A and B are shown apart, each in its own frame.
Chain A
Amino acid sequence: MVATEAYVALSGVLFSIGAVGVLTRRSAIMIFLCVELMLNAANLALVAYAYRWAGTGLLTGISGQTAVFIILAVAAAEVAIGLGILVAIFRNRASTDVDALSEVRL
């Protein structure tokens, strides 16, 4: 059996890759994809810890999984809004480059 730490480490690697993506991508939709990747990395860590603490009482183990369930629902709402904003931006500018959206700067 693989130690829980290995799962958490994998989750850390995925999270860092996602973070690099957020930093290096310019298109808003690609940044959005990378944020999804980071969210999923966090989910993996939660499920891994749910497994780790499963033996120590019913609620501790399952509540980790329940938290992931709630994160999934929040992610769905976030994607609906985010993609709505993207479509609205694209209608006005025919581009999703985040660096071009600089009208509001001081």
Chain B
Amino acid sequence: MVTFVILAVVSVVGALGVVLLRQPIHAALSLVGTLLTLAVLFVTLQAHFLAVIQVLVYAGAIMVLFLFVIMLLNIEQQRKEIRPWLRWVAYGIGLVAAVGLIVGALLDPRQAPDAAVARAALQGGNALLIAEVLYFEFMLAFQLVGVLLLTGMVGAVALVQRRRPPPGGVSAATAREAVLTDRPGRPSSHPVEAGGR
């Protein structure tokens, strides 16, 4: 119980950080914190395999990619915000959704499962059990995901591939790229640069 409360509070604080922090890198780090907390919550729900996969795939690969893009593109802190009244409307929608989901979850009249039964059935989210379901019950989904990943890979390469510069001259795009990536780290909080712009 205590574990759950601590983890829940940490994950909600992390999630709020994603929404409220100005600096993109800080927001992304806050999301990493939430993801790691979710991994621990998975462990408390007898899903050890998923917890490790969550850390490996989400924290280890996806979020590193996010941070890489944020740093590479040097995305700035937002100066313009959306209009204040719209912001409050969004908060209202969020609040209503949260209350609705909580009430919906709690109204569902079911008892907590017997921990021993769940542990015996899930065996800590054994990789072997997951594999059996994945390769028999979920076979179609599994193959579709394979196709999707391949499409994603080809698409990502096609999207970011630059045309080769014409022989004997640097293309405009390459020159721009050189300028863009040459700028130093974090322009946002750098007093000289922030003032200079």
Do A and B contact each other directly (Cβ–Cβ < 8 Å)?
yes
Knowing A59-B133, A76-B57, A87-B69 are in contact, say whether A51-B156 is a contact too (CB < 8 A).
no
Interface residues of A, count at CB 8 A: 76
Bound state CA distance, A73 and B117, in angstroms? Answer: 29
Is B98 in contact with A29, judged by CB distance below 8 angstroms?
A: no
Bound state CA distance, A3 and B78, in angstroms? Answer: 40
Which of B93, B102, B110 has the most chain A CB atoms closer than 10 A to its own CB? B102
Q: With an 8 A cutoff between CB atoms, is B137 at the interface?
A: yes
Q: Which residues of the partner chain A approach B18 to less than 8 Å between Cβ atoms?
A: 17-18, 21, 33-34, 37
Is B121 in contact with A58, judged by CB distance below 8 angstroms?
A: yes
Is B113 in contact with A54, judged by CB distance below 8 angstroms?
A: yes
Q: With an 8 A cutoff between CB atoms, is A101 at the interface?
A: no
- Please classify how large the interface on chain B is, using the bins under 10, 10 to 19, 20 to 34, 35 or more: 35 or more
Which of B31, B45, B149 has the most chain A CB atoms closer than 10 A to its own CB? B45
What distance in Å separates the Cβ of B163 from its nearest Cβ neighbour in chain A?
11
Is B90 in contact with A13, judged by CB distance below 8 angstroms?
A: no
Is A84 in contact with B134, judged by CB distance below 8 angstroms?
A: no
Residue in chain B with minimal CB distance to A53: B113
Which of A18, A36, A66, A97 has the most chain B CB atoms closer than 10 A to its own CB? A66
Bound state CA distance, A61 and B70, in angstroms? Answer: 38
What distance in Å separates the Cβ of B55 from its nearest Cβ neighbour in chain A?
11
With A11-B105, A51-B122 given, can you name 5 additional A-B contacts, CB distance below 8 Å? A4-B113, A15-B97, A16-B98, A58-B129, A65-B125
Q: Could you write out 24 A-B pairs with CB less than 8 Å apart? A: A3-B112, A8-B105, A13-B12, A13-B101, A14-B12, A16-B98, A20-B93, A23-B94, A29-B24, A44-B42, A54-B118, A55-B117, A62-B122, A62-B130, A65-B50, A66-B133, A68-B50, A70-B141, A70-B142, A75-B58, A75-B62, A76-B149, A81-B152, A90-B75
Q: Which 10 A-B pairs have the closest CB atoms?
A: A12-B101, A77-B152, A20-B94, A84-B159, A16-B98, A23-B90, A55-B117, A8-B105, A21-B19, A84-B156
Q: A residues bordering B, Cβ < 8 Å?
A: 1-21, 23-27, 29-30, 32-34, 36-37, 40, 43-44, 47-48, 50-55, 58-59, 61-63, 65-70, 72-81, 83-88, 90-91, 94, 96-97
